[in-house]
């Protein structure tokens, strides 16, 4: 799933490839991806792209006052095409969900793998009309997102760090992968309560949050859209690496499974050497 760094890189890539060009065709293939109907997606046709923005994990292509906003969700992706195939795409064949064609013959496809269809496309005059955008918390890479602001967000926050960091209304753009990476960099347990942090720990977590995301953005920047997925995976130190050695201390990276996701962490770096209880596993053993 693309998170802040990958969407930021896509934004850069699309700024280079779309701004100043005219959209000639928007072809929804899987009609369920469209979450708005007024204005229709076809209202985008004949307009010139003026800017590309990011709101958390949402990508926003602006053309003369209209915004084409997409959330790629868990299994969605954007594929750039130097040459789009001739003829209209056939619905129901493969993962293609929507195609955008430019006057130059180039364009991009939005695709979604798997059976859970969560890829979303909105066409709006103001991105704040989209509930998921309207409720976003501050962007952790914004210039004004300082340590004081971060400390205020965590004040009275009763959840565990893993859940708090992933909450888009608290901080925009961090998902399952980068929350694991940030907690590993900060050397904190994912189950630690956010409100229990000392000022020193708050500073450490703030620094880990900013550095982890900034490094990932730096690695992804300038990469073509098609290479971002591999780059994300290769840059991760603990996420998705259960059973592998921790690159910091060499301990074996462990995993806690939930019904629809899993987290990974290093016991030596993060939990004083103690493995966390895997609730699903302990339930099975009862």
CA atoms within 13 A on the CB side of 96: 20
Name which of 99 and 162 has its Cβ closer to Zn ion: 162
122 in helix, strand or coil? strand
Least separation in angstroms between residue 251's CB and Zn ion is 5
Helix axes 228-235, 4-18, angle to 10 degrees: 150
Least separation in angstroms between residue 184's CB and Zn ion is 7
Q: Is 268 in the site for Zn ion (CB under 5 A)?
A: yes
Q: Is 208 in the site for Zn ion (CB under 5 A)?
A: no
Name which of 15 and 268 has its Cβ closer to Zn ion: 268
- What phi, psi does 187 have (nearest 5°)? 55, 50
Quickly count: other Cβ atoms within 10 Å of residue 274's Cβ: 10
Rounded-to-integer distance, Cα 286 and Cα 283, Å: 5
* Residue 276 in tokens: 């966390």
x/- mask, Zn ion, residues 217-246, rule CB under 5 A, reads -----------------------------x
**With CB under 5 A, what is the number of residues at the site for Zn ion?**
7
Least separation in angstroms between residue 161's CB and Zn ion is 17
Name which of 4 and 177 has its Cβ closer to Zn ion: 177
224 in helix, strand or coil? coil
> Considering only residues 249, 261, 273, 275, which one is a binding residue for Zn ion as defined by CB under 5 A?
249
Least separation in angstroms between residue 237's CB and Zn ion is 9
Q: Is 248 in the site for Zn ion (CB under 5 A)?
A: yes
CB of 173 closer than 8 Å to CB of 140: yes
Rounded-to-integer distance, Cα 62 and Cα 127, Å: 10
Least separation in angstroms between residue 194's CB and Zn ion is 22
- Site residues for Zn ion per CB under 5 A: 246, 248-249, 251, 266, 268-269
């Amino acid at each position: 799933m693309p998170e802040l760094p990958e969407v930021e890189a896509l934004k850069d890539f699309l700024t280079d490839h779309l701004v100043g060009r005219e959209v000639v065709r928007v072809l929804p293939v899987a009609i369920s991806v469209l979450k708005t109907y007024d204005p229709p997606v076809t209202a985008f046709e004949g307009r010139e792209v003026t800017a590309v923005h990011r709101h958390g994990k949402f990508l926003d292509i602006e053309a003369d006052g209209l915004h084409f906003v997409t959330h790629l969700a868990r299994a969605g992706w954007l594929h750039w095409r130097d040459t789009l195939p001739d003829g209209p795409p056939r619905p129901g064949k493969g993962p293609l969900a929507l195609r955008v064609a430019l006057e130059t013959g180039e364009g991009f496809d939005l695709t979604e793998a798997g059976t859970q269809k969560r890829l979303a496309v909105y066409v709006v005059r103001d991105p704040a009309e989209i509930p998921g955008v309207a409720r976003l918390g501050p962007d952790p890479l914004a210039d004004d997102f300082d340590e004081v602001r971060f400390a205020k967000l965590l004040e009275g926050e009763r959840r565990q760090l893993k859940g708090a960091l992933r909450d888009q209304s608290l901080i925009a753009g961090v998902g399952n992968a980068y929350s694991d990476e940030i907690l590993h960099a900060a050397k904190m347990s994912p189950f630690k309560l956010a409100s229990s942090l000392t000022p020193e720990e708050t500073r450490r977590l703030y620094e880990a949050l900013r550095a982890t995301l900034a490094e990932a953005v730096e690695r992804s920047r300038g990469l073509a859209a098609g290479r971002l997925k591999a780059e994300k995976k290769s840059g991760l130190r603990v996420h998705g690496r259960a059973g592998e050695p921790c690159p910091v201390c060499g301990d074996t990276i462990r995993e806690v499974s939930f019904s629809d996701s899993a987290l990974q962490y290093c016991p030596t770096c993060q939990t004083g050497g103690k493995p966390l209880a895997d609730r699903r596993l302990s339930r099975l053993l009862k």
